[in-house]
Structure 1
Amino acid sequence: MKNAIFILTALLIFPSCKQQNNSNNSKMSDLTSKNYVERMLNNIKHFNYEPMYYLTFRQNSCFSEILVNDIPVNKNFKEQSDEGTLDINNYIFKSGIQKVTFRLYPAGKVGNFDLSKFVSDTEMNIEITESDNDKKEQEGKKTMSYTTPITTTINPYGYSISKFEATGKTYYEASFTFNATVPYQFDSLSKGMDLRKQDPHTLEKKVIAFYKNQWEIINSKKVDDFFSFLELKEKECSQSVYDTRVDLEENLQAYLDPFTIENFKLEPLENYKMVFYGDGRIVCLELTSLDGKLRGKSALWGKFEREGLRAKFRKYYLYIPDNESELKILR
Structure 2
Amino acid sequence: MQNSEITEKNIVNKLASNIHHYDDEPMYQLLITNNWCSSEILINDMLVFKNFQEPLAGPTVDINNYIFKSGVQTVTIRMYPVGKYKDEDIKTFIAGTGMSVTVNEYDEKSEKDNEIIKYTTPIKEERDEYGQLQFEAIGKTYYEARFTFNATIPYKVEGFENARDLREWDAAILHKKLLQEYNKVKAIYQNKDYDNIARTSYDGLKNEVISKYQTREYIDEVWEMLMETYKLPTFEMQPIENYKMVFFADGKLVALMQDSKDPRVRGNSSLWAKFNRGEGIETLFCNSYFYIPKGATEFKIY
**TM-score class normalised by the smaller sequence:** over 0.9
Match of 2:125 in 1: 152
Per-residue Cα deviation, 1:202-252 (whole angstroms, up to 9, x for no partner): 211221111101111111111112212233333222211111011111221
Contact preservation (8 Å) 1:218, 1:258: no
Equivalent in 266, 272, 290 of residue 318 of structure 1: 290
Equivalent in 198, 202, 205 of residue 234 of structure 1: 205
Report the aligned-residue RMSD. 1.9
Per-residue Cα deviation, 1:189-211 (whole angstroms, up to 9, x for no partner): 12211100012122112211111
Separation in 1 of the partners of 2:140 and 2:109?
A: 44
Q: Mean Cα displacement is larger for which, 246-255 or 285-294?
A: 246-255
Q: Does 1:44 align with 2:19?
A: yes
Match of 1:170 in 2: 141
Per-residue Cα deviation, 1:250-281 (whole angstroms, up to 9, x for no partner): 22124314432221111112221111111111
Separation in 1 of the partners of 2:154 and 2:88?
A: 48
Q: Mean Cα displacement is larger for which, 210-219 or 232-241?
A: 232-241
* Displacement of 1:147: 0.5
Q: Does 1:35 align with 2:17?
A: no
Pair 1:129–1:161, CA change in 2 (3 A)? same
SS of equivalent to 1:273:
strand
- In structure 2, stretches of 5+ residues that fail to align are none
Residue correspondence of structure 1 range 100-249 to structure 2 within 5 A: 100-134=75-109, 140-153=113-126, 161-249=132-220
* Displacement of 1:114: 4.6
Identity across matched positions, percent: 42
Match of 2:61 in 1: 86
SS of equivalent to 1:221:
coil
Q: What one-letter code is carried by the residue in structure 1 that aligns with 2:285?
A: F
Q: Does 1:294 align with 2:269?
A: no
Match of 1:329 in 2: 301
* Displacement of 1:160: 5.5
Separation in 2 of the partners of 1:34 and 1:187?
A: 24
Normalised by the size of structure 2, how large is the TM-score? 0.93
Q: Does 1:62 align with 2:9?
A: no
Separation in 1 of the partners of 2:177 and 2:128?
A: 58
Highest RCO, 1 vs 2 (Cα 8 Å, sep ≥ 6): 1
Per-residue Cα deviation, 1:6-51 (whole angstroms, up to 9, x for no partner): xxxxxxxxxxxxxxxxxxxx56421112111211121111111111
Q: Mean Cα displacement is larger for which, 66-75 or 112-121?
A: 112-121
Q: Does 1:273 align with 2:244?
A: yes
Contact preservation (8 Å) 1:95, 1:185: no
Per-residue Cα deviation, 1:90-137 (whole angstroms, up to 9, x for no partner): 1000100101111100112433545211111101010111111447xx
* Displacement of 1:187: 4.5
Q: What one-letter code is carried by the residue in structure 1 that aligns with 2:115?
A: K
Separation in 2 of the partners of 1:114 and 1:301?
A: 28
Contact preservation (8 Å) 1:267, 1:303: yes
Normalised by the size of structure 1, how large is the TM-score? 0.86
Separation in 2 of the partners of 1:139 and 1:310?
A: 39
Give the number of aligned pairs: 301
